[in-house]
Structure 1
Amino acid sequence: MKISYNWLSKYIKTDLSVEKIASILTDIGLEVEDIEEIESVKGSLKGVVVGEVMECEKHPNADKLKLTKVNLGHEIVQIVCGAPNVEKGQKVPVATLGTSLYSEDGSEFIIKKSKIRGEESFGMICAEDELGLGESHEGILVLDKELKAGTPLNKVYNVFKDYCIEIGLTPNRTDAMSHYGVARDLYAALKNRKIKAELQPISIENFKLDETTGNPIKVEVENHQLCPRYSGIYLKNIEIKPSPDWLQNQLRIIGLSPINNAVDITNYVLHSYGLPLHAFDADKISGQKIKVGTVSEGTKFTTLDGVERNLSDTELIIKDAQDTPLCLAGVYGGIESGVSNETKNIFLEAAYFDPVSIRKTSKKEGLNTDSSFRFERGVDPNYTILALKKACELFKEFTNATIVGEIVDIYPNPIKNINTILRYHKIDRILGKKIHREQIKEILKSLEFTIISDINEVLDLIVPAYRVDVTREIDVIEEIARIYGYNQIDIPEKFTFAYENKRAYDEEFFENTIANQLKNNGFYEIINNSLTSRRTEDINYVELINPLSADLCVMRQSLAYGILQSISFNSNRNQKAIKFYEFGKTYFKTASGTYIESKKLSVALYGNFQEGNWITPPNISSFFHLKGIITQLLKGFNLNLEEKPLESNFIYKDGIELFVNASSIGKMGSINPNLIKDFGLKGNVFYAELEWEKLVDLTSKKKPLKLAEIPKFPGSTRDLALLLDKEITYFDLYKAAFDAENKLLQSVNLFDVYEGKNLPEGKKSYALNFFLQDENKTLTDQDIDKVMNKLLDRFSSQFHAELRNN
């Protein structure tokens, strides 16, 4: 949300700089993300004054230059001027010594004392393009002769300077979605900090009716649940024309484009007080009647953007006597009833609509407007009359409108303020600090909370209706904390807590240990949105009833898409070594209509596994890097992996499925090239997605690893070169080896693979290294030969393996 500093200053008077105001706003929860200085003319014409040309003669040393004497009000100076139209007696703009002028590209030019063709010059008589007041450079700018010499030019041209303050407003703070709302919050903070400030009350004293006859437009509210309050007033004989400069400038500062005086006034009131208004061309309201309700399913309606829409019978609509739609209530106007340059009479609407209804309409129609943004979060129901009266004052002043009849106000069931209590001891416990009771009450009063009673350390409070986010005691405590200042709450020097002796392998411990191991290996944790777009390969997806957008319409079924998006984002920013992991949930809908939610751990590698340096080239990530990481993670929890080949699918090009005790615990492999292309990546992405809940269950059943002494006796290694069928995998041999010998055999390693010349058709060669060790003695050759013969017999009988002789 954008706020104009000058606009804000209309409601709160303070001597603080914009930077200090921004700091305080951030402290109280209205986080200022950016401050942009805006000038209607760069430099604001500082140092440029009105000068009177007292003398004007030909330059003695140049045919096209003139030598002038110019009265600046407090002195007369000599200026050399090359403009053909400069004459004695003119009032002209003069940039005095030290003044900065700016070119179209923003470059600065400082006026200095100079000598031109032998004559000194103490300033510059300017053309309008040199000042940024226009584009003409045919000659100097000649001013009104009535102006007084020495008058600052920024007073003549009403040059303004402002700051656009951008606030990252949280969705619950609808009360601060206006300049007055921000001023009200800022005033409470300044008052608590004992900083001099004055909040200007909203005055409607200038409002008065011009004609007291009945309102020409009748109003009927058919659904009071969807429209608890509806107010309106009739204005006639308006003149549609451009808004005054100050109003256009104020709107431009906050990023709005001025349209005409009628539309600009409604926008100005909206951003001043936070309540949206809508103006109808009264002559286009059939039957001179407004009805607030719904229409038949499928009713056609063309909105201001020219789009024809099919309305549902649940959307709240503003319609005429014939039930013809005029406006999507609180969201968007209709093209037929909108204000145009030919409009003479208008009906001005101010209302309070049900937030849920507006949100549904906005999402269904794909329209997100300033109006819907506020209505769907909840506006102040007590501001409808005030907003109408403020708007009427502006309409009378800038459109010459005549206000006809009384204000229509249909409000059968007034929305009540919220009652809650506040216990002092609860504040002390939550904040960890005891705030003086009178200061607490001052903060509440500055926030316009009403204190009904203060008995036995308990306050009975009434919360104003515009604070839709404050409904409980804890909400009130949060309000006190943010206005008091989180930075004023001391951090205790020591913490006291009770130690809880947990099981060695509970889920929290398991997750933290895995996360720490990944971080120690250079991985970064990411958290992606659980919402994603629908993909053709997805089935049984969980669909959102009210999606935020087409890109966020279903719940994810894999963490892969989010991780790929994060990889793409970082790769596009020149990150060469990307290592990510994520703990997250996936969601499925079964054929019977029930839902399955399961937690996963995903790990991904892209680019370099290790960066290169002067002595070592970069180490490109591979499948085996990822497999080594996963194996290392689970081995620390006494989980031994088994595997089988994974068929290619829409996520994986190839890879393996992982098992522990014959239970599938996930998949890993290289990502399908089509998917990589979809995310704009080049090269391989290696990805693993593990079933976290299964891992937790398996870990809880395992006995913890125990420390053991380093063996005192040496081990021995032996190698075997085996001739095998191509279908046999290393994992098959690995598993068979430990099935045959699990006492002395400590490790198996594949160190060479050969396929090709000199081998029979359909065969390959694996060279394996076996490490043998006995904890109780040194192995003899006989012990080793016995084990190796046992292994060879197993390989021969199970896989028809042969020793390779060449």
Structure 2
Amino acid sequence: MKISINRLKDFIAIDQTPEEIAALLTGSGLEVEGISLFESIPGGLEGVVIGEVLSCERHPNADKLSVTTVDIGTGIVPIVCGASNVAKGQKVVVATEGATLYPVSGEPFVIKKAKIRGEVSQGMICAEDEIGLGESHEGILVLDTQLPNGTPASKYFDVARDHVLEIGLTPNRADAASHLGVARDLKALLNSPICLPSVDGFKVDNQNLSISVEVEDPKDCPRYAGLTVSNIKVGPSPEWLQNYLKALDLEPINNIVDITNFILHDLGQPLHAFDADKIKGNKIIVKTLPKDTVFFTLDDKERKLSGAELMICDASEGLCIAGVFGGKGSGVSSSTQSIFLESACFSPDIIRKGGQFHGLKTDASFRFERGTDPNMPVYALKRAAMLIQELAGGEISSEIIDVYPNPVEDFKIPVAFKNIDRLIGKQIAKEEIKAILHGLEIEVSAETEIGFLATVKPYRVDVTREADVIEEILRIYGFENVALSENLKSDFLAEHPGKDLNKLQYRLSEALAALGFYEIITNSLTKPAYVEKSGFLETSENVNILNQLSEDLSVMRQSLLFSGLEVLAHNINRRQKDLKVFEFGTVYFKEQVGYREEKRLGLFMTGDKASESWLAPSRAVGFSDLHAVAELILEKLNIEGYGMEILHDAPFEYALKLTLGEKELGKVGMLRQEACKLAGVKQEVLFAELNWDLLGKKAKGLKKFQEISKFPEVRRDLSLVIDKNVTFDNIKKIALKAGGKLLQRINVFDLYQGDKIGADKKAYALSFYLQDSENTLIDKVIDKTMDRLIQNFETEAGAFIRK
């Protein structure tokens, strides 16, 4: 939500800087996410002045150029000009050396001293399109003014400047979705009064255009007000109004529509203007229409109604989706002479349903969905009608119609002083509490030593309970004014359920099955010989069974390795040699005091990756195949920032240890033959064992799907010569850090080791894939990213980039 500082000052006297106002609002809960400068002419004509042409001669080396001398107030400068209408004695607009111009079309450019066909030029005499004033490029601007030379052009053209706050409005603060709402918070923060524009001058001119109103369900539309204005003249809005809307990133349309947008952002009350001549039967009916009724909206789209959305209708058809979007047939156009102006209060639920069904989000629906002030419609109507008379002429041709059968009552909330102290964590003086509430327009009555009754106006739809009132006191008092105690505690109104590890396990099992893995379930009892001969398990940690069934099943397993290998041996002996299996199982350890158990995930791959085929030769599974599966598991669990270490420890011939901080996630590698032979397996086996308890604890939930970017991906390749001890993991971490959000993935497509680069070196051929989810990447951005990658590879990895 955008808020104009200039307009804010019309509501409340403030002399703070925009940065100070932003800090005040952010501290009170209206977080200011940014401050931007709006200028009615881009660049504000900085460095552009009024000058006078003292001489004008034909350029000696170019027929279509003139050499002029121009008085710019601070001196006389030579300027080469290509306009045919330049002449001696003219008052002109001059962009001085160093000024930046923002033309209507094209990129901004800086005025520099130059030599044009041999003649020095120290500035530029400007046409209107070159300084962003208009489209014309027929010749330079010639001014009729007595202003002295050197006067800033911004003064002559009355350039409007404004600072605009970008507020990240939370859903509960519907009351602050306007300049008035923000001013109300500043009123409480600064103890300064608010000045609302007066509507005392409102009067009805005649009764020449009467339109009746009928509301079928007051629950959907608690209040509906309207009036008619006739003999208006639709046209462009004045410059001040257009600048106000442009500062808020709104496009001016015409004076009538612009006034309704002005009121919406000024007061938070959406309005809608209907062409009165198109209202059949001189009657407005607020109701629903049958399902599948065809309705054309202002964007010229045909929509079929759901039957649940609220409609504004005349005697025969729908005119508008209430609170969301107007209809094509009843909108204000250049030929409109009379209007019916609507100002209403709708149920947030009914507006939300209508907007969601049709996929429509508008400034009006944004406010109605959160709740608007039921006391504002008539005031906003009067204010808008008076502005229409001022800017579009016309006569108010009916009394205000106000259908308000069940007025919304103020909220009455009992508040106890002890609860204020308890929830805030600090005792605030009672007088200060009452002063804060008074500033927030919350009335305090029936005060006792115990507490008081707070009366809250209905525009504060989020303040309906005692805790809400206390929150209001705290945010104005200042969170920073409440010291942290040595002993912190928190109270939660809602439960925070933990992660469902069973669900994570089920989803991961589905993913592994999709990769061709079979799930196995093996016995937790195993042979003590596996521990004694494994080379990596400790006999002292064995959990022995007291009532042994047999010598082969006398201890609890310390690893999933050997029970899994037994499954492989059983299948290999039956000529099923190409296997991929996994198991979620528990392992057990005896400690000095008591016992410990862990749940782990075991992965096994052996044999060929794919069966023999005439299309492609068979290939044995490799380390990279199982490592890719392990990485996929971590990715699906949203575990990031993990590290890798190379191992050659039993039972692995070679392996990688996966770590997260100082904790071990698991190991992935090729098993030694002696470990396989212990279980009767005579072929190579790849094995991974991951700590499922730790994975479940560190998981951030399952990886979510996201929309595929509509912007193209870009690939760039680099060849890096690095030391042999630099791993791809090192390179990947450097790349992800330097590449930022644009770098989507990195891949090695070639590896070279040989005499040409030295025995202690290796060369990686890497591909980098860049993509922006919001824009098409341009060469400048791509080159900047690649330069940053190269610089980081050179400094952090000692890489040499092969050209």
Distance 1:56 1:639 in 2: 99
Where in structure 2 are the equivalents of 1:441-456 lying within 5 Å? 441-456=434-449
Q: CA deviation at 1:639?
A: 9.7
The answer to whether the 8 A contact 2:286-2:312 is kept is: yes
Q: 1:413 is matched with which residue: 406, 412, 423?
A: 406
Q: 2:296 is matched with which residue: 302, 307, 328?
A: 302
* Pair 603,6 (structure 1): closer, same or farther in 2 beyond 3 Å: farther
Match in the other structure for 1:20: 20
The answer to whether the 8 A contact 1:753-1:767 is kept is: no
Q: 1:218 is matched with which residue: 195, 212, 216?
A: 212
Q: 1:404 is matched with which residue: 397, 419, 435?
A: 397
Match in the other structure for 1:376: 369
Distance 1:340 1:214 in 2: 21
Distance 1:478 1:337 in 2: 45
The one-letter code sitting in structure 1 at the alignment partner of 2:633 is Y
Distance 1:432 1:228 in 2: 40
The answer to whether the 8 A contact 1:670-1:686 is kept is: no
Distance 1:639 1:226 in 2: 67
- Corresponding position: 1:163 with 2:84: no
The answer to whether the 8 A contact 1:100-1:110 is kept is: no
Match in the other structure for 1:250: 244
Distance 2:636 2:18 in 1: 51
Q: CA deviation at 1:450?
A: 1.1
Where in structure 2 are the equivalents of 1:426-441 lying within 5 Å? 426-441=419-434
Distance 1:119 1:687 in 2: 70
The one-letter code sitting in structure 2 at the alignment partner of 1:751 is R
Q: 2:487 is matched with which residue: 488, 495, 501?
A: 495
Match in the other structure for 2:71: 70
Distance 1:67 1:228 in 2: 70
The answer to whether the 8 A contact 1:215-1:406 is kept is: no
Match in the other structure for 1:486: 479
The answer to whether the 8 A contact 2:221-2:345 is kept is: yes
Distance 1:69 1:335 in 2: 54
The answer to whether the 8 A contact 1:32-1:166 is kept is: yes
Distance 2:635 2:583 in 1: 10
Distance 1:418 1:641 in 2: 65
Distance 1:166 1:474 in 2: 28
* Pair 289,101 (structure 1): closer, same or farther in 2 beyond 3 Å: closer
Q: CA deviation at 1:339?
A: 2.3
Q: 2:632 is matched with which residue: 682, 686, 690?
A: 686
The one-letter code sitting in structure 2 at the alignment partner of 1:584 is K
Q: CA deviation at 1:236?
A: 1.5
Distance 1:69 1:351 in 2: 59
Where in structure 2 are the equivalents of 1:332-411 lying within 5 Å? 332-411=325-404
Q: CA deviation at 1:59?
A: 8.6
Match in the other structure for 2:175: 175
The answer to whether the 8 A contact 1:753-1:764 is kept is: no
Say which SS state the counterpart of residue 460 (structure 1) adopts: strand
The answer to whether the 8 A contact 1:240-1:399 is kept is: yes
- Corresponding position: 1:235 with 2:229: yes
Q: 1:658 is matched with which residue: 581, 584, 602?
A: 584
Distance 1:68 1:766 in 2: 92
Q: CA deviation at 1:149?
A: 4.6
The answer to whether the 8 A contact 1:289-1:321 is kept is: yes
Q: CA deviation at 1:430?
A: 1.7
* Pair 260,120 (structure 1): closer, same or farther in 2 beyond 3 Å: closer
The answer to whether the 8 A contact 1:65-1:82 is kept is: yes
Match in the other structure for 1:206: 201
Distance 2:115 2:87 in 1: 21
Q: 1:280 is matched with which residue: 258, 274, 282?
A: 274
The answer to whether the 8 A contact 2:225-2:342 is kept is: yes
- Corresponding position: 1:458 with 2:451: yes
The answer to whether the 8 A contact 2:416-2:450 is kept is: yes
The answer to whether the 8 A contact 1:600-1:690 is kept is: no
Q: CA deviation at 1:417?
A: 0.8
- Corresponding position: 1:321 with 2:315: yes
The answer to whether the 8 A contact 2:33-2:166 is kept is: yes
TM-score by length of 2: 0.61
Q: Which runs of 5+ in 1 are unaligned?
A: 192-196, 499-506, 512-582, 587-597, 606-621, 647-652, 674-681, 692-717, 720-748, 756-762, 769-806
The answer to whether the 8 A contact 2:80-2:119 is kept is: no
Q: 2:499 is matched with which residue: 574, 584, 589?
A: 584
Q: Which moved more, 1:255-264 or 1:126-135?
A: 126-135
After superposition, the C-alpha distances for 1:548-605 in whole angstroms (9 at most, x for unaligned) are: xxxxxxxxxxxxxxxxxxxxxxxxxxxxxxxxxxx6359xxxxxxxxxxx76479989
The one-letter code sitting in structure 2 at the alignment partner of 1:495 is N
Say which SS state the counterpart of residue 9 (structure 1) adopts: helix
Distance 1:221 1:666 in 2: 65
Distance 1:274 1:655 in 2: 62
Q: 1:752 is matched with which residue: 669, 673, 676?
A: 673
- Corresponding position: 1:108 with 2:128: no
After superposition, the C-alpha distances for 1:156-213 in whole angstroms (9 at most, x for unaligned) are: 212222333221111010001112211221232233xxxxx553323223322221x2
Q: Which moved more, 1:117-126 or 1:341-350?
A: 117-126
The one-letter code sitting in structure 1 at the alignment partner of 2:71 is V
Q: CA deviation at 1:449?
A: 0.8
Q: CA deviation at 1:244?
A: 2.5
Say which SS state the counterpart of residue 682 (structure 2) adopts: strand
The one-letter code sitting in structure 1 at the alignment partner of 2:243 is N
Q: CA deviation at 1:394?
A: 2.0
How many residues were matched structurally? Answer: 564
After superposition, the C-alpha distances for 1:219-242 in whole angstroms (9 at most, x for unaligned) are: 111111111111011111222223
Say which SS state the counterpart of residue 227 (structure 1) adopts: coil
Q: CA deviation at 1:445?
A: 1.1
Distance 1:669 1:251 in 2: 62
* Pair 349,135 (structure 1): closer, same or farther in 2 beyond 3 Å: closer
The answer to whether the 8 A contact 1:602-1:688 is kept is: no
* Pair 683,235 (structure 1): closer, same or farther in 2 beyond 3 Å: farther
Distance 1:137 1:281 in 2: 39
Distance 2:604 2:147 in 1: 78
Match in the other structure for 2:11: 11
The answer to whether the 8 A contact 1:235-1:402 is kept is: yes
Match in the other structure for 1:40: 40
Q: CA deviation at 1:317?
A: 1.9
Say which SS state the counterpart of residue 272 (structure 2) adopts: strand
* Pair 358,145 (structure 1): closer, same or farther in 2 beyond 3 Å: closer
Q: Percent identity?
A: 46
Distance 1:639 1:237 in 2: 92
Say which SS state the counterpart of residue 472 (structure 2) adopts: helix
Match in the other structure for 1:709: none
The answer to whether the 8 A contact 2:408-2:458 is kept is: yes
The one-letter code sitting in structure 2 at the alignment partner of 1:235 is V
Distance 1:364 1:62 in 2: 65
The one-letter code sitting in structure 1 at the alignment partner of 2:158 is N
The answer to whether the 8 A contact 1:102-1:108 is kept is: no
* Pair 187,661 (structure 1): closer, same or farther in 2 beyond 3 Å: same
* Pair 670,435 (structure 1): closer, same or farther in 2 beyond 3 Å: farther
Match in the other structure for 1:271: 265
Match in the other structure for 1:550: none
* Pair 134,228 (structure 1): closer, same or farther in 2 beyond 3 Å: closer
The answer to whether the 8 A contact 1:305-1:335 is kept is: yes
The one-letter code sitting in structure 2 at the alignment partner of 1:462 is T
The answer to whether the 8 A contact 2:98-2:110 is kept is: no
Distance 1:666 1:398 in 2: 75
The one-letter code sitting in structure 1 at the alignment partner of 2:673 is D
* Pair 362,95 (structure 1): closer, same or farther in 2 beyond 3 Å: closer
Q: How much is the aligned-residue C-alpha RMSD, in angstroms?
A: 4.7
- Corresponding position: 1:765 with 2:682: yes
